[in-house]
Amino acid sequence: MIEQGCVLFRERVIIPTTLRTKVLKLLHQGHPGIQRMKSLARNYAYSPGMDHDIEEMVRVCGPCAAAAKQPFKATLHSWPPALKSWERIHIDFAGPRQEGTSSLSWMPTQSTLRSFQRPT
């Protein structure tokens, strides 16, 4: 479809090859990151391979890399093994479920899992 001299793909403007770099720079203002850039692009513009172009632009951008969310690294540790039954109990509650039940599971030892379901 053509509207006001612009070629549209659904409701998005198709970006000519000669203007793709310029549009990517406009989308990249403020260093919004990959997901936000893709979201903006998908709302307003279309060009084949745009997702890949956005990923590549953000990947080589220093400020984007510095601002990227770094996952918190926690030290993982295990529970010490239980020496006898019922020394430690692990309990989990799930529900209400769609079928109208809830579930309570408990594990008194590392090898025994017990479960109880009841109507909610």
Residue 102 is inside which H or E element, if any? strand 101-109
- Full residue range of the structural domain in which residue 39 is found: 2-67
pLDDT, residue 7, reads: 85
- 28 and 63 within one domain: yes
The answer to whether position 88 is within a domain reads yes
- 18 and 60 within one domain: yes
Instruction: Give the count of domains, the chain.
Output: 2
pLDDT at 113 over 60: no
pTM of the model: 0.53
pLDDT, residue 64, reads: 82
The answer to whether 86 and 108 are in contact (CB under 8 A) is: yes
The answer to whether 15 and 46 are in contact (CB under 8 A) is: yes
The answer to whether 110 and 82 are in contact (CB under 8 A) is: yes
The answer to whether position 72 is within a domain reads no
- 61 and 83 within one domain: no
pLDDT, residue 39, reads: 92
Q: Read off the CATH number of the domain in which 43 is found.
A: 1.10.340.70
User: In this structure, which amino acid lies at residue 116?
Assistant: F
pLDDT in tens, 11-65: 888 999 999 999 999 999 988 888 889 998 998 898 999 999 999 998 888 888 7
